[in-house]
Amino acid sequence: MGRYVIRRTLFAIPTLIVISLIIFAILDLAPGDPAANLPLTIPAEVREAIRESLGLNDPFLLQWLKWMRLMFINEPLHTIESIFNVCIGDCEARDRILSWSSRAPALDIIWQRMPQTLWVLGGAFIIGALIAIPVGIVSAYRQYSWFDNLGTFFSTIGFSVPTFFTGILAIIIFSVALGWFPSFYDTTLVVNSWDTFVLQVKQMIMPVVVLSLFNAAALARFTRASMLDNLNEDYVRTARSKGVGETKVVMVHVLRNSLIPVVTLLALQIPGIFGGAIITEQIFRINGIGQLLIAAIGQSDVPMVQTLTFIFAVLIVLFNLIADVTYGVLDPRIRYD
């Protein structure tokens, strides 16, 4: 197992380098120039000096290598320094990836937006998983029962109806008509009392429920289908014939072997927590990572888009590695050496 993790980690490094090159190349071709947003009264030579200072006149390969140095060396060093309150080397002279629109370090802005995204999407992911996996297990064990039919009905609705529709519908019903919950997410709210805590919970309910329904729908169907594939296997009949309790057969033997496709889906969903729900954050006006990405694209903020997309790629590679290692824990028949 250890050698497999090392091999996969070493293989992930060139993978991320190639991904960074593709991201940088695609966004380099996109229209966008920090000098284009300056007032028209600024002379052309000043604009050219700004472009020169940002390295936009350098050859493509040199620009990419500079960006790689900032992303892989300078930014990790700054993160370590921020966490441990230390200084490594010449902190004042260290360059960082700057957002063209705000002129601030891109990663600092991302870390500021991250808590809002994690509160909503993290809560939706946990609630969705806690609902979907038990529903999938019971639906498979009691196939074609009223519970299975009801679960299939809600799963179909949750998976087929887009979040922008359910989000707007929730706002119309529960905010406009009934007035139970606020129609938008107040990111400036500071939780320092019981009343502010209640307000925080109330403004989280609708976006969390909308995202939970969407996430749980696919996960419940995957769990049900995987459980059905294993319920009729020979090892299940053998366990029952030996007198093993039905609860242990289902919850230990069948569930453990059925979790491999579920873990795969979870590994693909977890990076989305950090990536932000772009549509849902726009609907409920959550000042998170998804809204930051949309704003950066609209403002042609290429460094911010490059940084965000590369972080998403790192998370996807990381959690796929975690999923592969988890397969061996769930199923001892899987060998990596």
Residue-level pLDDT at 116: 80
CA 256 remoteness from chain centre: 25
Residue-level pLDDT at 333: 63
Local confidence pLDDT in tens for the 337 residues of the chain: 667 777 777 888 888 888 888 888 888 777 766 666 666 677 777 777 777 777 777 788 888 888 888 787 777 777 776 666 666 666 665 677 777 777 788 888 888 888 888 888 888 888 888 888 888 888 888 888 888 888 888 888 887 887 778 888 888 888 888 888 887 777 777 777 788 888 888 888 888 888 888 888 888 888 888 888 877 777 777 877 877 777 787 777 777 777 777 887 787 777 766 655 677 777 887 787 888 888 888 777 888 888 888 888 888 888 888 777 777 666 666 665 5
158: amino acid identity, one letter:
G
304: amino acid identity, one letter:
M
- The strand pairing partners of 98, in sequence order, are 105
- Rg (the chain; Cα; Å): 24
The architecture that CATH gives domain 107-330 is Orthogonal Bundle (1.10)
Residue-level pLDDT at 162: 79
Residue 184 in contact with residue 174, Cβ under 8 Å? no
Residue 69: φ, ψ to 5°: -65, -45
What is the torsional sign of CA 257, 261, 262, 263?
positive
CA 292 remoteness from chain centre: 14
Q: CA end-to-end span of the chain, whole Å? A: 7
Residue 90: CB atoms within 10 Å: 7
**How is residue 253 written in tokens?**
């033997």
Residue-level pLDDT at 87: 67
Question: pLDDT digits over 72-87, tens only?
Answer: 777 777 777 666 666 6
Residue-level pLDDT at 231: 79
Closest C-alpha to 54, from 18, 103, 94 = 103
Locate CATH 1.10.3720.10 in the chain.
107-330
Residue-level pLDDT at 88: 66
Q: Report d(CA 275, CA 164) in Å as an integer.
A: 17
